[in-house]
Amino acid sequence: MKITVDYNRCEGHGLCAEQAPAVFGLDDEGELIYHFDGTDVPDGQIAIARAAINSCPVAALREQR
């Protein structure tokens, strides 16, 4: 599973990082960090990654299909 992140749309709410801290984080300036940019999310993290995608209030995260 790959995730597309629209960094321009992200407002730094951090809900994704709360849902899936192994997949997403926020830096010191509140900018999104996607730990698997350009690679697949590990199988053991897929369920929480999907929960994080669904938690984004501005739809900045999308699962690639």
pLDDT tens profile 30-49: 999 999 999 999 999 999 99
Residue with tokens 């999310």: 41
Residue 3: name the closest of 53, 47, 55, 45 by CA: 53
Largest alpha-carbon pair distance within the chain? 31
**pLDDT tens across 6-20, in order?**
999 999 999 999 999
Within 10 Å of residue 5's Cβ, how many Cβ atoms? 19
Angle at 10 between CA 21 and CA 58, to 5 degrees: 100
Task: Write down the pTM of the prediction.
Answer: 0.92
Residue with tokens 């730094």: 12
Are 61 and 8 a contacting pair, CB within 8 Å?
no
